[in-house]
Amino acid sequence: MFIAEGKLVIGELLRSRFSVRSLLLTPLRHSEMASLLTDLMAPVYVAPQALLNSITGFNLHRGAVASASRGVPLEPSNLLESARRIAVLESLNDLENLGSLFRNAAGLGVDGVLLSPGCADPLYRRVVRVSMGHVLHVPFAHLPSWPEGLDHIRARGYTVVALTPSGDVDLDDLAPAMERTAVLLGAEGPGLTPGALGRAHVRARITMASGVDSLNVATAGALAFHHLRPR
């Protein structure tokens, strides 16, 4: 199971492929969300704010929390078969960066996300919240091995574009119309490992102003997703 918090995020949950197990709402949130819950086949509990706080163990100031089933995990091969543009993440374990990256992926038309071992859980509560629930709409799968998993992606016909400050080409110089593209992103600080970089077709950099060597990984990902989108 996983947890979704807040009216807007729960709204995305109700429109997603995931099954709701139950909801816990304040009376105000229940009245605001009544139209969304008409056809819901799951229990809805209504309780005062103080009781919600005592149950969850923190100040649930959004007044709404839902429990949902994770379902059957997607297989990387199935995701790769249907996608055209994907993001591939290496050891990305900062929850806010991961949530922001999924929101960017949803907003900029990325078809799916593949995660290396060591990445944070995309369905962790904070990731779901920071993504504004959009992580629930972007298909994702976990690669069983790394960096060997990149070989599987290459074999499926994807051009692997690694974002790195030490890139050989500028992102602006890449043609956006590549048939299948995988944008490879690493964690802030360590960046991409030599094993991952060695399996990339292209190492691309984002031109920076003097004195700044890199961007937040979610911001860098957004720039790449936007540049490489189909025209």
pTM over 0.85: yes
Strand boundaries in the chain, DSSP class E = 2-5, 19-25, 44-46, 64-69, 85-90, 112-115, 140-142, 159-163, 169-170, 181-186, 202-205
* Length of the chain counted residue by residue: 231
196-213 per-position pLDDT tens digit:
999 999 999 999 898 888
**What pLDDT, in 10s, does the model give residues 80-131?**
999 999 999 999 999 999 999 999 999 999 999 999 999 999 999 999 999 9
Q: Can you tell me the distance from the alpha carbon of 176 to that of 226, in angstroms, rounded to the nearest whole number?
A: 9
Closest CA to 87 of 102, 100, 70: 102
**Alpha-carbon Rg of the chain, whole angstroms?**
19
Where do the domains of the chain lie, and which CATH numbers do they carry? 2-69 (3.30.1330.30), 76-227 (3.40.1280.10)
